[in-house]
Amino acid sequence: MGTECIAKYNFSATADQDLPFSKGDVLTIITVTKDPNWYKAKNKVGREGIIPANYVQKREGVKSGTKLSLMPWFHGKITREQAERLLHPPETGLFLVRESTNYPGDYTLCVSCDGKVEHYRIIYKASKLSIDEEAFFDNLMQLVEHYTSDADGLCTRLVKPKLMEGTVAAQDEFSRSGWALHRKDLKLLQIIGKGEFGDVMLGEYQGNKVAVKCIKNDATAQAFVAEALVMTQLRHKNLVQLLGVILEDKSSLYIVTEFMAKGSLVDYLRSRGRAVLGGECLLKFSLDVSEAMEYLEDNNFVHRDLAARNVLVSDDNIAKVSDFGLTKEASATLDTGKLPVKWTAPEALREKNFSTKSDVWSFGILLWEIYSFGRVPYPRIPLKDVVPRVEKGYKMESPDGCPHVVYEVMKQCWNLDPHMRPTFRKLREQLEQIKAKESYL
């Protein structure tokens, strides 16, 4: 797979072998030509040609372990004295924001000015932030942006943020690695889904339909920056592809992905049902997901929230795994009380012990969802009874009409001993063998 790059300018071909493109187009570099100033590349419809190297920016995954922050100048709970030490040596316009020590719930803007540090209380009132009760802001980012362009009563305009140690400004990092898109290039068309933190919208980016997660820029937005960071590192035909992130709008941030016209797999199964979907189609969806999960397994990522609701279906019936909100590198720990009990492996519920093997358990549940045409798992068992029964070895019965060989695969995934569960590679191979036999149809 070649390196991806994003076009910084328009390029119109001047010779037959040139490949024309528009600013913002994503291209794949095939090789560097004899002249390093030109690349051989192809566009998304597969047309190949020569492009100028200085017209494009290579895309790279944001390094894992990078602590991206939407507010790298926010230092949390530090004292007045610590703030003053951080803003030393004095430099007029150097600033940071901290939580107020005297007024819990409020903030303090600390600014270096003519050799000393001024502390301005930021009052939080009626869901708005203000320093002078004349100008009001929805969030700290808007407030900082305002005083960066105009001192407006402060001793100086905010010139240079004092970054919290170890953090990187998210906007800078997404721009550097080629994932920052521009708001003016994105047209929002209609709401196609509602998430817990904001709307999912159908949009248009350079003439192509895209899906856009619109997230209010507040405390929760930070989690979505982490999700986008994970998505910059993943590329597979059965994973929903990130197209880019828009962080320049201070009231919302946007995560732009490919548009999956047929929606979530669970809705697709329920609305079409047995009359429309044959065994071949169900097996194909199962294989699609197993391939995506094998890729995550190989790259040491754990999804942690695999379920039919988090798999989307494209216009040409390809299933792709999405929703990387809880996806972490295998070594990371997760603190959450919002785990979907019926999909989560017993050891993950009990000890927060997530691994590829807990994803395998969830894959078994997802297979059951596919073959039951989107039924909710553990039918007729009250939610509070699910875990105790599962821990005693209870396994769901085979869905009506499900081939015996497929049900056997589900049961392997539900082994109480995580080490006894198959790998995703093994699962994909088993499903391919079932497909090759075709006798199940």
Residue type at 121 in one-letter notation = R
Q: In a 3-state reduction of DSSP, which class is residue 156?
A: coil
Going from the C-alpha of 189 to that of each of 19, 28, 117, 220, the distances in angstroms are 30, 28, 47, 24
Token reading at 422: 């198959």
How distant is the alpha carbon of residue 256 from its chain centre? 10
The Cβ of residue 283 has, within 10 Å, a number of other Cβ atoms equal to: 22
- Do 69 and 167 form a contact (C-beta atoms < 8 A)? yes
Residue type at 173 in one-letter notation = E
Q: Which residues pair with 187 in a beta bridge?
A: 204
Token reading at 190: 């209609």
What CA–CA distance (Å, rounded) separates 156 from 40? 50
What CA–CA distance (Å, rounded) separates 158 from 75? 16
What CA–CA distance (Å, rounded) separates 210 from 204? 6
334-351 residues labelled b (16+ CB within 10 A) or e (exposed): eeeeebbebbbbbbbbee
Token reading at 415: 């082994």
Asked, as a colleague might, if the bond just before 377 is cis with ω within 30 of 0, I would say no
Going from the C-alpha of 351 to that of each of 63, 160, 333, 346, 355, the distances in angstroms are 28, 44, 11, 8, 12
Active site residues: 305
How distant is the alpha carbon of residue 83 from its chain centre? 33
Which of 431, 403, 419 has its CA nearest to residue 360? 419
What CA–CA distance (Å, rounded) separates 170 from 164? 13
Asked, as a colleague might, if the bond just before 379 is cis with ω within 30 of 0, I would say no
Consult the annotation and say whether 160 binds a ligand.
Answer: no
What CA–CA distance (Å, rounded) separates 43 from 168? 32
Q: Which residues fall in the annotated binding site for ATP?
A: 213
Q: Which residues fall in the annotated binding site?
A: 213
